[in-house]
Chain A
Amino acid sequence: MSANLDDDIDYTDIEEKYEVQFDDSLDNTVVVDGIPVIDKAKLDKLLTKVCKEFSKKGVSIKSDDIFMPWDDSTGKSKGFMFVDLKNVEDANLTIANLHNHPFDAKHTFKVNRFTDIERFADLDETYVEPEVEEYTAREHLRAWLADPYGRDQYVTYRGDEVLINWHGKPSQCEVAYKPEWRDFLYVAWSPWGTYIATLHRQGVRLWGGSSWKPQQRFAHPLVKLIDFSPCENYMVTWSNEPIAVPEGAIQGPQYFSPADEGNTIAVWDIKSGDLLRTFSTQQEADSGGVKKQMQWPALKWSPDDKFVGRITPGQMISVHEVPSMYLHGKKSLKIEGVVDFEWCPLGDKDREDATSAPGKPAKKARENMLVYWTPEVSNQPARVTLLGFPSREVIRQKNLFNVSECKIFWQNQGDFLCVKVDRHTKTKKSVFCNLEIFRMREKDCPVEVVELKDSVLDFSWEPKGERFAIVSSSDPNLGNPGPGITIKTDISFYQLDRAKNDFRLLKTLPGRTSNAIRWSPRGRHVVLATVGSSTKSELEFWDLDFSVEERKEGQTDWGTNIQLLGTADHYGVTDLEWDPSGRYLATSASAWTHTLENGYAIWDFRGQELEKHIQDRFKQFTWRSRPPTLLAKEKQKQIRKNLKEYSRVFDEEDAAEESNVSAELIALRKRLVDEWNAWRSLRKKEIGEDKHEETQQVENKEEIEVWVEDVIEQTEEIIE
């Protein structure tokens, strides 16, 4: 039976389907251009080097697979070669991984399919005008800056609901947009506020423009952390799950290729959406056996988006050029023991120098700088080093002793650098703190040391200023936190004394519990807060230039201009953020940290509460940041000079609006009072009537009595 069946069945379709076709095509052959021109003697060496380079990129070849054409007339190679690969997949991989691969300083591989070369040769030489794609206007990504009221935006994330709100005068606060975004971890604004990113299971999505359309997406599954480059050109994503590229996954410049497998960090180009490179964090985590908390951002961007640095703790700093992502100069900065580094930020002045006005000769822009520190190893002292980049010249070096920890703080204009050095005594029993302050704008970067007896918990530079604030503490409970323990702290302000050119103590506020310093982005105002305590949640609003008169050189009233403007309390506060204009402060209690009275509040710089919303499951509040101003310096000066003129217009608007609002409010109140009074007088009248009736009844009774008496008298008369 079965044999019969077999005979009857027509297998041609299956045979056709599974027919093994002999691959006689040349699809597995590639042409590699950009090979150094050599003579015969060096051939073997070159071939082994090329093979090594290939295998580094995940394609293993032998030197037998390579055919190198030879120019017999000169006795030298022709500068290209043919490589036979195992199969088409390997050929694809080679093109993906080795095209534009720098072989050495002068030579870069150009890889093409052999079949393509044929096609290129047959290419029609006549020029055909490409069709011009019709221009579709995109929404302006910074449309929100053109708001007629000049309001700022903020985003709130509560439960599953995201809201983008306008914040301005009380009458101008409204919802700007209610997105329908679903299933994401959190939201983040790009540094200039152009995009908002949501982190989904599949990857990151960027939204923007006036209608909040999707702008870009980056397929990094299970992404947990993201970081934008300072100029919004690139993005770094991280996931704790190593990248896995399943069989048949989409390939392309925007997707991970098999070569990225196992890595956790990815760098992307925001405008094109292309994946630039992936990195692994594995080796860092494994080193030393102890799994240290990963530093984030793991990649540090130079302020001009030209370089990105990556540290391998204890060994080196690797600086890559963007967007090519090649290691700059083909070698890392090998620094034994290096723990941490930071790029020097660019000041407004530096930016101006870099993009000088046409006509003027461009001033020499400040070179990028980075600072790193190394701990004490064997006989070598701990060291803080300032390095110019790309020149790699050491600008300044400072040796330190008895160091247990350093922390690097740049002032946001790159004018000052403070290295907070936690030091221990020789016996290692007690810990104290030094602040090493580098004055970056002066020749040879003079260093000044501020010595403190207590340990410093937090340090913060005044943005664009010459002051800083520190939180220090000598509380015995420091270092062993427990529930209900609130650490007592002192807050101190320091300022650069122009006359003596050193930093001097302005004022100390003793016996606080504050542990967070938040400077207004414009400087001058600062908020001290107690964050993360279950019992204290004070906010103090300070003004450091309270006197109206201009600060004069060598003034005598040192430190007297510090003034407490107000205190407030936001129970369970977890986050504080100034709005980009420095006029408002937002505090929020996030459900990510605790579930007590979640919600947010907005205060003005004096500590007056403007809004407060207690909302269950409230998670996140972030202001939309603004890009640096486009106004030229002269123009800004002009505005500042004519501020009175401008402010008069606004004052008038405010006054008009206030009278409108208060008129409405007064009308409402009047109506409420009228209703109440009407009801009251009605009731009072009723009582009056009741009482009146009662008394009338009483009177009636009396009359009746009189009448009865009368009757009695009458009967008496009758008897008589």
Chain B
Amino acid sequence: MLSFSSRSHAFDLSFYLGHERSLTQIKFNADGDLLFSCSKDQVINVWFSHNGERLGTYEGHNGTVWTVDVDRAPKQSKFFVSGAADNTLKLWQVSNGKCLYTWEFPTAVKRVAFNEEGNQVVCITEQRMGYQCAIRVFDINTQDGSKQSKEPKFMFNPIGSKATVCAFTLQPNIIITGHESGKVALFNAKTGEEIDNNERAHGDVVTDLQLSKDRTYCITSSKDKAARIHDTKSLIVVKTFNTETPLNSAALSPNRPYVLLGGGQEAMSVTTTSLRQGKFETRFWHKVFEEEVGRVKGHFGPINTIAVHPHGTSYASGGEDGFVRVHHFEDSYFRAKPYGDLEIID
């Protein structure tokens, strides 16, 4: 391993405990000053990412909040959306904590994502109680948040294995999805048609999908212990990162050629499986060389979600243990060139 790993403990870190149960997703806003976190305790928190002070909470959901996403518009962070096990999707005003609009569905909302412009939201609802897994796209009225159309702009049911994660791609109305079977696919939201797929992208359920800044590639993590970088247009697997633990989250680090992977044995199987306790570390892998460069310890349980500051100056991880840990990178992290002077395009 490279010199990088020995330094990883040197991050300045502060951790927050605002949740009573395990974290489900965390997100930075576009400027990176705010960090949104949701958890199984039904509360959404927002924090100042530089010092860990809690700015506020958003209460209103009546079940596990599975997912949040903040609009990408810089300098404003007007809205964010959240999906929960109470079968609702809510649109919130960031600044005052008001719930602007609530959509209701027959089943739980597992994943939400804004598009680039912040005027559309895609969500996945769970396949349960006779209802099929559905993907809906809503137009967001950005002028008056409380006046939204009740009906989705598009809705379709992906055939085959249910979708677990989704995001808008570069092209309008094209959605990239990750599925329970390990499939990664592209859908036309308008027609519900599967444009392209990679059935064997992963060997097990896809747990996370995060896009690069320009949305031309994405990273997926899976319970099959691997993370992969895909081209969002052709779905070609560009890079593969094989670890020894099931992965719950994978994030791309802007400006630096690293990917961050998090996971660990599920809490319920830690004591029963023969595998080693722990492995609850955030792993840093080199994006291009597919080599592990370092690890950061800290969590007492599996890492459920990782998010990197949009400027790449810090990262946050949320764990099964109910903690959000924010790590600021030191100067040496940016100076270090463990692989020489090769210029790598972000």
Binding site for B on A (CB under 8 A): 535, 571-572, 595-597, 609, 614, 666, 669-670, 672-673, 676-677, 679-681, 683-684, 686-687, 690
Return the contact of A673 from the options B231, B233, B288, B346 (Cβ within 8 A): B288
Do the beta carbons of A684 and B289 come within 8 Å of each other? no
Query: B236 — nearest CB in chain A belongs to which residue?
Result: A679
Query: A681 — nearest CB in chain B belongs to which residue?
Result: B345
**Is there a chain A Cβ closer than 8 Å to B275's Cβ?**
yes
**Is there a chain A Cβ closer than 8 Å to B342's Cβ?**
yes
Q: How far is the CB of A521 from chain B (nearest CB, A)?
A: 28
**Is there a chain A Cβ closer than 8 Å to B274's Cβ?**
yes
Complex: A83 Cα to B181 Cα, angstroms: 87
Complex: A239 Cα to B204 Cα, angstroms: 49
5 residue pairs, one from A and one from B, having the closest CB atoms: A680-B345, A683-B216, A673-B342, A676-B288, A677-B345
Q: How many A-B residue pairs have CB under 8 A?
A: 52
Q: Which residues of B contact A672 (CB under 8 A)?
A: 288-289
Do the beta carbons of B345 and A676 come within 8 Å of each other? yes
Complex: A226 Cα to B275 Cα, angstroms: 34
Query: A679 — nearest CB in chain B belongs to which residue?
Result: B238
**Is there a chain A Cβ closer than 8 Å to B344's Cβ?**
yes
Q: How far is the CB of B278 from chain A (nearest CB, A)?
A: 9
Known interface pairs A669-B339, A683-B231. Does A596 touch B275 (Cβ–Cβ under 8 Å)?
yes
Given contacts A596-B275, A669-B289, A673-B344, 4 further A-B contacts (CB under 8 A): A572-B276, A669-B340, A673-B343, A676-B238
Complex: A672 Cα to B346 Cα, angstroms: 14
**Is there a chain A Cβ closer than 8 Å to B214's Cβ?**
yes
Known interface pairs A683-B231, A684-B216. Does A571 touch B342 (Cβ–Cβ under 8 Å)?
no
Query: A662 — nearest CB in chain B belongs to which residue?
Result: B340
Known interface pairs A673-B288, A687-B214. Does A595 touch B274 (Cβ–Cβ under 8 Å)?
yes
Of A535, A572, A596, A673, most buried by chain B (CB within 10 Å of CB) is A673
Known interface pairs A676-B288, A684-B214. Does A597 touch B343 (Cβ–Cβ under 8 Å)?
no
Complex: A572 Cα to B170 Cα, angstroms: 48
Q: How far is the CB of A635 from chain B (nearest CB, A)?
A: 41
Complex: A666 Cα to B341 Cα, angstroms: 11
Complex: A677 Cα to B343 Cα, angstroms: 8
Complex: A686 Cα to B231 Cα, angstroms: 13
Q: Which residues of A contact B231 (CB under 8 A)?
A: 679, 683
Complex: A680 Cα to B229 Cα, angstroms: 12
Known interface pairs A669-B339, A676-B344, A676-B345. Does A596 touch B288 (Cβ–Cβ under 8 Å)?
no
Do the beta carbons of A596 and B345 come within 8 Å of each other? no
Q: How far is the CB of B340 from chain A (nearest CB, A)?
A: 7
**Is there a chain A Cβ closer than 8 Å to B33's Cβ?**
no
Query: B170 — nearest CB in chain A belongs to which residue?
Result: A687
Do the beta carbons of B345 and A614 come within 8 Å of each other? no
| Chain B positions 287-346 with a Cβ under 8 Å from a chain A Cβ | 287-289, 339-340, 342-346
| Chain B positions 218-236 with a Cβ under 8 Å from a chain A Cβ | 231, 233
Do the beta carbons of B275 and A597 come within 8 Å of each other? yes
Query: B232 — nearest CB in chain A belongs to which residue?
Result: A683
Return the contact of B216 from the options A571, A669, A687 (Cβ within 8 A): A687
**Is there a chain A Cβ closer than 8 Å to B244's Cβ?**
yes
Of A609, A670, A672, most buried by chain B (CB within 10 Å of CB) is A672
Complex: A683 Cα to B218 Cα, angstroms: 13
Q: How far is the CB of A80 from chain B (nearest CB, A)?
A: 71
**Is there a chain A Cβ closer than 8 Å to B217's Cβ?**
yes
Q: Which residues of B contact A596 (CB under 8 A)?
A: 274-276
Query: B290 — nearest CB in chain A belongs to which residue?
Result: A672
Return the contact of A571 from the options B233, B276, B340, B346 (Cβ within 8 A): B276
Query: A595 — nearest CB in chain B belongs to which residue?
Result: B274
| Chain B positions 6-47 with a Cβ under 8 Å from a chain A Cβ | none
Do the beta carbons of A614 and B214 come within 8 Å of each other? no
Return the contact of A669 from the options B214, B217, B342 (Cβ within 8 A): B342
Q: Which residues of A contact B214 (CB under 8 A)?
A: 683-684, 687
Complex: A168 Cα to B344 Cα, angstroms: 35
Q: Which residues of A contact B345 (CB under 8 A)?
A: 676-677, 680-681, 684
Complex: A661 Cα to B343 Cα, angstroms: 21
Do the beta carbons of B244 and A614 come within 8 Å of each other? yes
Q: Which residues of A contact B339 (CB under 8 A)?
A: 669
Complex: A609 Cα to B344 Cα, angstroms: 29
Q: Which residues of B contact A690 (CB under 8 A)?
A: 170
Complex: A666 Cα to B289 Cα, angstroms: 11
Complex: A330 Cα to B277 Cα, angstroms: 60
Complex: A670 Cα to B233 Cα, angstroms: 25
Q: How far is the CB of B4 from chain A (nearest CB, A)?
A: 15
Complex: A575 Cα to B289 Cα, angstroms: 34
Q: Which residues of A contact B276 (CB under 8 A)?
A: 571-572, 596-597
Q: Which residues of A contact B275 (CB under 8 A)?
A: 596-597
Q: Which residues of A contact B342 (CB under 8 A)?
A: 669-670, 673
Q: How far is the CB of A691 from chain B (nearest CB, A)?
A: 10
Q: How far is the CB of A531 from chain B (nearest CB, A)?
A: 16
Query: A609 — nearest CB in chain B belongs to which residue?
Result: B1
Q: Which residues of A contact B340 (CB under 8 A)?
A: 666, 669
Q: Return 26 A-B CB contacts under 8 Å, by A number.
A: A572-B276, A595-B274, A596-B276, A597-B275, A597-B276, A614-B244, A669-B288, A669-B340, A670-B342, A672-B288, A672-B289, A673-B342, A673-B343, A676-B238, A676-B287, A676-B344, A677-B343, A677-B345, A680-B346, A683-B216, A683-B217, A683-B233, A687-B170, A687-B214, A687-B216, A690-B170
Q: How far is the CB of A8 from chain B (nearest CB, A)?
A: 76
Q: How far is the CB of A341 from chain B (nearest CB, A)?
A: 43
Complex: A683 Cα to B346 Cα, angstroms: 11
| Chain B positions 140-174 with a Cβ under 8 Å from a chain A Cβ | 170
Q: Which residues of A contact B277 (CB under 8 A)?
A: 535
Q: Which residues of B contact A572 (CB under 8 A)?
A: 276
Of A572, A614, A683, most buried by chain B (CB within 10 Å of CB) is A683
Q: How far is the CB of A44 from chain B (nearest CB, A)?
A: 75
Q: Which residues of A contact B274 (CB under 8 A)?
A: 595-596
Complex: A687 Cα to B244 Cα, angstroms: 36
Q: Which residues of B contact A535 (CB under 8 A)?
A: 277
Q: Which residues of B contact A571 (CB under 8 A)?
A: 276
Q: How far is the CB of B8 from chain A (nearest CB, A)?
A: 15
Q: Which residues of B contact A687 (CB under 8 A)?
A: 170, 214, 216
Q: Which residues of A contact B170 (CB under 8 A)?
A: 687, 690
| Chain B positions 240-286 with a Cβ under 8 Å from a chain A Cβ | 244, 274-277
Query: B229 — nearest CB in chain A belongs to which residue?
Result: A676
Q: How far is the CB of A54 from chain B (nearest CB, A)?
A: 61
Complex: A686 Cα to B275 Cα, angstroms: 45
Q: Which residues of B contact A683 (CB under 8 A)?
A: 214, 216-217, 231, 233
Q: Which residues of B contact A681 (CB under 8 A)?
A: 345
Complex: A596 Cα to B265 Cα, angstroms: 14
Complex: A595 Cα to B275 Cα, angstroms: 9
Complex: A537 Cα to B1 Cα, angstroms: 20
Q: Which residues of B contact A686 (CB under 8 A)?
A: 216, 233
Query: B287 — nearest CB in chain A belongs to which residue?
Result: A676
Complex: A305 Cα to B328 Cα, angstroms: 66
Q: Which residues of B contact A684 (CB under 8 A)?
A: 214, 216, 345
Query: A675 — nearest CB in chain B belongs to which residue?
Result: B288
Q: How far is the CB of B299 from chain A (nearest CB, A)?
A: 17
Q: How far is the CB of B269 from chain A (nearest CB, A)?
A: 14
Q: Which residues of A contact B233 (CB under 8 A)?
A: 683, 686
Q: Which residues of A contact B1 (CB under 8 A)?
A: 609
Q: How far is the CB of A104 from chain B (nearest CB, A)?
A: 64
Q: How far is the CB of A535 from chain B (nearest CB, A)?
A: 8
Query: B273 — nearest CB in chain A belongs to which residue?
Result: A596
Q: Which residues of B contact A669 (CB under 8 A)?
A: 288-289, 339-340, 342
Complex: A572 Cα to B344 Cα, angstroms: 39
Query: A571 — nearest CB in chain B belongs to which residue?
Result: B276
Query: A674 — nearest CB in chain B belongs to which residue?
Result: B342
Complex: A502 Cα to B274 Cα, angstroms: 50
Complex: A683 Cα to B277 Cα, angstroms: 42
Q: How far is the CB of A693 from chain B (nearest CB, A)?
A: 12
Complex: A686 Cα to B238 Cα, angstroms: 17
Q: Which residues of B contact A597 (CB under 8 A)?
A: 275-276
Q: Which residues of B contact A670 (CB under 8 A)?
A: 342
